[in-house]
Amino acid sequence: MPDRFAGRLTALEMFGNYAYTGIWLLIGVGFVLVTFWFASLIRPQRPNPTKLENYECGEMPLSASYLQFNVKYYIFALIFVIFDVEVVFLFPWAVVYNSLGLFALIEMLVFLLILIFGLAYAWKKGALQWV
């Protein structure tokens, strides 16, 4: 079993470009954590109960901070995900558009118009209304 996977992976080339992203991820995390660690060496640390209270404009906090949010947030997130998927389809189309000509234009117009219709529907139904 391991041979099968090993054979496939060693056949792959070095994923050179993205090795940088991976290593930079380590650098970034390391830099921030080292900064925090260094700060912890030189800063004072004298907590007391009042200091560790949550900030609520100087008053004693009244309840747990977990509010229930308006369902509006969720609707906007849903609409966002749908349009995000659409954007993902537009990227490869945009790259080849110029070499494909009229056919690609019509295809995309159909694609866009259907979604613009969706946007108009959401608008009409008041889903884009914040308050």
Encode the chain in three state secondary structure.
Answer: CHHHHHHHHHHCCCCHHHHHHHHHHHHHHHHHHHHHHHHHHHCCCCCCCCCCCCCCCCCCCCCCCCCCCCHHHHHHHHHHHHHHHHHHHHHHHHHHHHHHCHHHHHHHHHHHHHHHHHHHHHHHCCCCCCC
CB of 106 to other proteins, least distance (A): 10
Q: Give the integer Cα–Cα distance in Å for 107 and 109.
A: 6
CB of 46 to other proteins, least distance (A): 7
| Tokens matching residue 41 | 């060496």
CB of 131 to other proteins, least distance (A): 5
CB of 82 to other proteins, least distance (A): 5
